[in-house]
Each structure stands twice: as C-alpha cells, then as structure tokens.
Amino acid sequence: MDNFTRGVAYNLRVGLNDKDLNAQIISNAEALSIIQKVCSRYFKNGFTILPGTGDASPTPSIENSFYINAVEATEKSVLTVASILNKRFNQSSILIDRMPTEFWFFTGRV
C-alpha cells in the first residue's frame, strides 16, 4: 500500500541582513511575523518556517535567516512570496530550491 502522493517541494532561504547596510535592521521576531503573514496568504497547502544562520554570498557574511518549506505550492506562489520578502527585507537575492518529493498528510491511520 502506497499512501504517498508525488509532488514538488520548495525551500526558500530568506536572509535578514539588509543588502545595503550588510547588517540586520529588523528583529528575528518581527521578521518571523512578516514571513508568517506572507506565507499564510500564498501557501494554502501549508508551510513550515525554521530559523537558521548562514551565508549565500561570495563575501563572508554570516546572517540570521529563515528557511521556508512549502509542499504542493505553485511556482507562481513561490515566486510571489520570494519577490515580496526580497523587497521587504532588502535582499540581493532569495535562494529557492525545488525538488520532487513524495508526501503524505498522515492522520494516524494506516
């Protein structure tokens, strides 16, 4: 018995350092609130947000970031979310991963 559905998962990495100042000008809590509101509007099939730190630029610049996972989102909704967050947090870019996946919204019954 195979209960999994084939689909696509998207991951977005949103850094919090302002690209012009190379420093974080918004608190993690405020950034999380903004990200939750945007994701709630565009990712109707659900999403997960995880805090992190990292660097995605050629110059060393460790920064706080958030990782968003959205399963069964549309490419259009992912690009809309990325565009909104890119502008809101003044980023030079937002990293987007797209990968095939199999998922199951498990309810406790097999």
Q: What is the mean pLDDT of each run of 10 residues along the chain (110 residues)?
A: 89 94 95 98 96 76 92 96 98 94 88
Residues 2 and 23: their CA atoms lie apart, in Å, by: 48
Q: Give kind and range of the element (H or E) at residue 32.
A: helix 28-42
Which one-letter amino acid corresponds to residue 110? V
Domains, the chain: 5-103 (3.30.70.60)
pTM of the model: 0.90
Q: Would you state the pLDDT for residue 35?
A: 98
Q: Give kind and range of the element (H or E) at residue 82.
A: helix 75-88
Which residue, 65, 66, 73, 64, is CA-closest to 98? 73
* CA-based max dimension of the chain: 54
Residues 14 and 9: their CA atoms lie apart, in Å, by: 16
